[in-house]
Structure 1
Amino acid sequence: MDKFFKAKERGSTQLPWLSSYHSFSFNHYYDPAHMGFGPLRVLNEDHVAPGGKFDTHGHQSAQIISLVTYGTMYHEDSSGHTSLLQPGDYQLMNAGSGITHSEANAKGNEPMGFILLWVLPRHHGGLPNYQYKRFEESAPLQLVASGAPDAQAFLLDQDIHIWQLRLANGGELLHPLQTGWIRRLQLIEGSLTIDHQTLGPGDGMIPAPGNATEYLAGQDSLALVFDVPQHLYQGHIDETH
């Protein structure tokens, strides 16, 4: 049976410079029914006012991915990395044994938006590292990050596949699913119909178990798709490594 998550039912953090919407428990939003999707523990949609900034703060044992959806993001971290990210750019910051960083809206006259993901690693510690990538916007389906080596995708220390889905209005795609895995989709822009369910921006869905998912776009659409093994979804991640 499909599970459907409405955008308006997400938690949120509202500040003068930030509107953040949380699909899973985060910050002051806590709901034991929404704690993550296997090793995916944060799925936030953030909108940052002109000149807004996340002040320097630290992380450990988290693989943090950001996708800029509009505006320009400035990144700076304690490993010496700085970058300017444009719409469609992804960054991966592996916190390892510890890293501090800040993100800011680089423009003082226009807003900035991004999607924030945290994936728990299999193993704790290690040196922090930072990477950024951009994927072809013309490709309907791109592997963004995976626990298996791939020439184009970020390599994560976890059993998870993260896909970027881009479909033009009227586009269709059949997306195979690995046996024994389960899928969750988060729509960022546009309109998608899956199993006769139509999703709008901010909506999420876990399709009924099967060997493929069929997508139909009612508008130009952008989504992120997450695949994890069923045993990680149904059980608990061992965080004692």
Structure 2
Amino acid sequence: MPFIVAVVAVLVPAQTAAAHPFGPPSTARIAVDGDRVTLAWLPAEDDWVALGQSLGAFEDPATGADTTLTGEQKLARSAAVRDYLLAHVGVTQGGRPCAAELEPLERLLAEGARFGFECPEPVVTVDVRIAALTDLHQAYRTVLTSDTPAEPAKVLFTKAEDTRSVRFDAPEGGGVPLAVPAVALVAVLGVLVLLLVRRRAPAPPAASDKPAEPAATPGTGE
């Protein structure tokens, strides 16, 4: 039985919420392609349980639990969980929010919560916000790793600092427009070299520069 199902069946929210904040941090991965940012947030299974319980994604055991669905399925179908994730994970570019989309959560234990963000411009520098779970306990934190070359390559998000700026390298093809000025520069240099060669070459003598015919000597009859 998956851990999350067992924990949900037992339902010990106080112990679950207090246990993991002091363990390893949650992880997240980010990548950039043009004006699109993808981000996957991957908390531990007990953190999903703590989050689901805080949002009412699971039944009150006093009223009877639905045993036809696993805890993962209940989280995936919870509108409150989806709203929470969209409210606590975001990307902005130049102060403007990038349009967020949250993919279905059916495989949240294996793949996490997967987001796609469409930004107004091709992405170079964006502000990333990950504030999930820190409202449950201030000790929660997330380490973000970039799959696209970035500075910094790893970022720590905490209760006190839930928004961090990340700068990515220019996307592939970003240098293509520079090829046109380069070609133009080569052409200009070629013209300059040709002009210098022509200027240095000796010019053919003009007709007026030909030596004069010798004058006839008096008395020779010529």
The TM-score bracket by the shorter chain reads under 0.3
Which is higher, the Rg of structure 1 or of structure 2? 2
TM-score scaled by length of structure 1: 0.24
Higher helix share: 2
Higher strand share: 1
TM-score scaled by length of structure 2: 0.26
